[in-house]
Structure 1
Amino acid sequence: MKRKMKRWMQGTLAAVLAVSMLSACGGGNDKPSQGVEGEGAAKPFQGKKLSIATANHPWGDAIKELIPQFEEETGMKVDVQSYFEDQLSQKLTVQFTSGSATPDVFMYSPLQHAKQFYNNGWLQPLDEYVTKNADYDFEDFSKASVSTNTIDGKIVGIPTITEQHILYYRKDLLEEANIAVPKTMDELLAAAKALHDPSKEMYGFSARGQRSALVSQISSFMYSEGGEFMRDGKAFLNSPESVKGMNTYATLLRDFGPPGVLNMSWPQAIGVFAQGKSAFFADVNSIYLNAADPEKSTISDQIGYAVFPAGDAGSQPFNIASWGIAMNAKAADKDAAWAFIEWATSKEIMLETQKLGNPGSRLSVWASPEGTVAFPKELAEVTMETQKGGVDHSLPQVNAVGEARDIIGSIVQRAITGEDIQAAADQANKEFQALIDNESGQ
């Protein structure tokens, strides 16, 4: 690990010194970072202080454990503050609204905040930074995860945690019933129906049913039928393609789901699966331990993982960066801030965090045997396959994501309770279009 840190420092030091020289000649706007002579020359940020805000997340925990090595190699002092997800969002919003230069670097949820934060001028575009050091190899990041962190053609964050929508299934139940792993939506519906037996507390399918929580999950069903939340600035919820995808999801939960599904977010839904009470569960790959951990699950040795089933448009699951790391546009020393981001998302450090079970965004790390040690073999294979394509968002790409989720989630909830889904989609489409128009000033 020490040797890897040295290699990282050699590459980033060369880039920093080059930028500093350009700045000294009038080619940069930020003050150049000052190195020190002699032995300290390898520490270009000696005496610098950096403030970092992270979420209470396994990736944040892993990075905090590694930061002393970064401090030793760079001479920089890093102050890390961690918050629960909602607290982090509120903290960042309050500080950035006031024009604060801290935190310099922060974790953020791209799908929830990238558009809003960028439009408010809070995110520093990183396009000029990602190509400074050839060893950083920005092309190594999956294209979908980079796209999730791109607004108006600008890279506004670096992906740290990725999530792909996959299908979990019970190997034993499918084998006993001589049912093949579903590869299409029709096959999933048929298999869920065949294995659904409420009299034995066995349900064909479990997934999120809460109004807001389900929106990200219906996205893959919509995409795989050719649908979308919006297209060319227009709401697309009541299109035949979108309605077909949402109807499949609603049918699975209404006809083959467990009791109380309308109140289930992912912890409750995967809990049903982990307790051996559902044949299929569809959600993100990153939560697999909630079902695979023998201490939490009664079926840990019977779990299968499969690529998301195909609809009329093929298999089009979301493939997103659920967390990223970004730079405050008002950070006092942007070179120092970038040095931390570059280190935290380097191949070497992403390998270390992924070995602890944090699914990263670098393709080379997934291709490395060391990079998959924390994941079941089949899950790693499904993840790598899904990384090749998929859709770069699982939520509507608007500023008011929360309001949009409530509007869209009501469609599926109404369908689950027996209402006409087309009528529900028509009404929601009007409400969503009004939100879109309001944001665009129409």
Structure 2
Amino acid sequence: MPAPSSSTWDRRSVLRAAAGLAALGPLAACGGDTGREGGGGSGKSLVQYFHAYGEAGTQEAIKRYAKAYDEARVTTQWITGTNFESKLFSALLTDDAPDVFEFHPQLQLIRSGQVAPLDDIIDPVKADFNPADIASHTVDGKVYGVRMIDDPQFFYYRKSLLEKAGLGVPRSLDELAEAAAALTTDKVKGLFIGNSMVSTNHALVWAAGADQLDDRNRIAYHTDDVAAALKVYRRMFTSGHLLLDAPADYWDPSALVQGLTAIQWCGMWAMPVMQKALGDDLGIFPFPPAAPGAKPAVYNGGWSMFVNAKGEDVDLAKDYVKWLWIDQKEYQEDWALGYGFHIPPRTSIAESATELKSGLPAEAVKLFTDYGRFDNISWTQAMITAFEEVVANAVRKGTDPEKALDAADEKVGRELEKLFA
């Protein structure tokens, strides 16, 4: 479920704005009333924040679920435009902060006491969640956030175009660069990884055999192989084989569907639209290895529901999250499969999802199972932005990758000091 076409931000992507809980101004124009007055037969009320999903019917679905909750009137703030993170973090500093909100697991929210632990509502069903989803939301033995959907990202490609060029599926980053060159014509670019070129940042590091941080929360992305991978990106950028000015960003399937590119990085959410447009001409593959001995990489995006620990009625907010995202399996299945394809984080729901049992969806599930990697809860907004600057400098501007990585090290190091000193 991507963001609308006017936004460069995506609900699963790593394109997250640099935002801090203590450095933002008032929330700008989110639309709708706050829902603080009255509510439901009980007279109680809650406010939930969602970013504006791109697929038709998503806003109506969220409001329909909320309306069925009997214990309070639940008002949805459907936040349009860019920088959802900035708007959310800004709102959390005000008296009109949401009671519950969707976001990604991030340690600074826990360290600041902004989000409540949810072990009491998750423990009875913890075994039914993907263990990686539980682990990625756990700090000091406590679970923060309930995963709503898992969203693997990978490369989509036009089979006919690769066949016409005499190419197989790329098995390395160098082969991907070669394919981009061979597939580029005066009308079609060989590869699209997003207009800002940062959508593959996580996967690029993993495919180079590295990680954002190691198991002791030290910098792990600064390696010779990551620097070499950035040089390959630079070569593709300067060669003219990348699509860089698509009408919509990577999260939207239109670049591949409209024939602007032969290969596109995108998420599983777009698969039904692509299949409808391209049929059997559509294939997928993971981000290929970028270093000897490294494995392919599939970035698992996705969103989780959090409870504002500083809200007016934390117990009621937790009850709502439990009711919707733990008890109401019908709604959870609808959210995962009714508006694009996503993998349900609940094993019991995933096992019954017939839409994902065969064909290309089943291939996507296998890629997710074999190569899926999850967000590191210690990799914060500022760190994400620091590595985006590496791509901007090393790939777009031609800065030596080592210098670009050194600059990121300083910024990431300062953030790690704040979190773990």
Q: What does residue 306 of structure 1 align with? A: 285
From the superposition, tell whether residues 251 and 149 of structure 1 become closer, same or farther in structure 2 (CA, over 3 Å): farther
Q: What does residue 77 of structure 2 align with? A: 81
From the superposition, tell whether residues 122 and 229 of structure 1 become closer, same or farther in structure 2 (CA, over 3 Å): same
Q: What does residue 375 of structure 2 align with? A: 393
From the superposition, tell whether residues 185 and 288 of structure 1 become closer, same or farther in structure 2 (CA, over 3 Å): same
Contact 1:145 1:319 in 2 (8 A): no
Q: What does residue 351 of structure 1 align with? A: 333
Contact 2:146 2:305 in 1 (8 A): yes
Compute the displacement of 1:314 (Å): 0.8
C-alpha separation in 1, matches of 2:410 and 2:77? 42
Gaps of 5+ in 2: 1-39
> Which of 110, 116, 120 matches 1:124?
116
Establish whether residue 162 from structure 1 lines up as the match of residue 150 from structure 2: yes
Contact 1:164 1:318 in 2 (8 A): yes
> Which of 163, 166, 173 matches 1:185?
173
Identity of aligned residues (%): 22
C-alpha separation in 1, matches of 2:251 and 2:317? 35
Establish whether residue 205 from structure 1 lines up as the match of residue 191 from structure 2: yes
From the superposition, tell whether residues 195 and 82 of structure 1 become closer, same or farther in structure 2 (CA, over 3 Å): closer
C-alpha separation in 1, matches of 2:258 and 2:381? 38
Per-residue Cα deviation, 1:155-202 (whole angstroms, up to 9, x for no partner): 2111113221211111111223343223433432333333233xx323
Contact 1:218 1:249 in 2 (8 A): no
Compute the displacement of 1:433 (Å): 3.0
- 2:108 maps to amino acid: Q
- 1:251 maps to amino acid: R
C-alpha separation in 1, matches of 2:233 and 2:153? 14
Provide the TM-score with structure 2 as the length reference.
0.74
Q: Secondary structure at the match of 1:70?
A: coil
Contact 1:202 1:279 in 2 (8 A): yes
Contact 1:237 1:243 in 2 (8 A): no
C-alpha separation in 2, matches of 1:250 and 1:379? 32
From the superposition, tell whether residues 263 and 255 of structure 1 become closer, same or farther in structure 2 (CA, over 3 Å): farther
* Largest Rg, 1 or 2: 1
- 1:315 maps to amino acid: P
Q: Secondary structure at the match of 1:167?
A: strand
- 1:204 maps to amino acid: G
Contact 1:101 1:332 in 2 (8 A): no
C-alpha separation in 1, matches of 2:376 and 2:258? 27
From the superposition, tell whether residues 94 and 416 of structure 1 become closer, same or farther in structure 2 (CA, over 3 Å): closer
- 1:201 maps to amino acid: K
Q: What does residue 30 of structure 2 align with? A: none
Q: Secondary structure at the match of 1:393?
A: coil
- 1:142 maps to amino acid: N
Per-residue Cα deviation, 1:320-354 (whole angstroms, up to 9, x for no partner): 33x21111213454443233212322333211222
Provide the TM-score with structure 1 as the length reference.
0.71
- 1:225 maps to amino acid: A
Per-residue Cα deviation, 1:98-117 (whole angstroms, up to 9, x for no partner): 4x59533222x215xx3232
Q: Secondary structure at the match of 1:164?
A: strand
- 1:244 maps to amino acid: A
Q: What does residue 110 of structure 1 align with? A: 104
Q: Secondary structure at the match of 2:123?
A: coil
Compute the displacement of 1:220 (Å): 0.6
How many residue pairs match? The answer is 371
- 2:241 maps to amino acid: G
Matches within 5 A, 1:37-436: 47=42, 49-55=44-50, 56-57=52-53, 59-71=58-70, 75-84=71-80, 89-90=85-86, 92-98=88-94, 100=95, 103-107=98-102, 109-110=103-104, 114-132=106-124, 137-197=125-185, 200-210=186-196, 214-231=197-214, 232-255=216-239, 257-258=241-242, 260=244, 265-266=249-250, 271-288=254-271, 291-292=274-275, 294=277, 299=278, 302-311=281-290, 312-321=293-302, 323-346=303-326, 347-358=329-340, 359=342, 360-372=344-356, 377-387=359-369, 389-393=371-375, 397-401=379-383, 403-411=385-393, 414-436=394-416
- 1:170 maps to amino acid: R
- 1:80 maps to amino acid: T
Q: Secondary structure at the match of 1:330?
A: coil
More helix per residue = 1
Per-residue Cα deviation, 1:194-217 (whole angstroms, up to 9, x for no partner): 3233xx32322111242xxx4341
Q: Secondary structure at the match of 2:68?
A: helix
Q: Secondary structure at the match of 1:305?
A: strand
RMSD: 3.5
Gaps of 5+ in 1: 1-44
C-alpha separation in 2, matches of 1:102 and 1:228? 34
From the superposition, tell whether residues 403 and 372 of structure 1 become closer, same or farther in structure 2 (CA, over 3 Å): closer
Per-residue Cα deviation, 1:271-315 (whole angstroms, up to 9, x for no partner): 433321322112332244665564xxxx56632222332343212
- 1:131 maps to amino acid: D
Moved more, 277-286 or 390-399: 390-399
From the superposition, tell whether residues 180 and 395 of structure 1 become closer, same or farther in structure 2 (CA, over 3 Å): farther
C-alpha separation in 2, matches of 1:106 and 1:259? 34
From the superposition, tell whether residues 407 and 337 of structure 1 become closer, same or farther in structure 2 (CA, over 3 Å): same
Compute the displacement of 1:260 (Å): 4.1
- 1:227 maps to amino acid: A
- 1:355 maps to amino acid: L
Q: Secondary structure at the match of 2:121?
A: coil
Contact 1:220 1:394 in 2 (8 A): no
Contact 1:319 1:391 in 2 (8 A): yes
Contact 2:191 2:263 in 1 (8 A): yes
From the superposition, tell whether residues 357 and 380 of structure 1 become closer, same or farther in structure 2 (CA, over 3 Å): farther
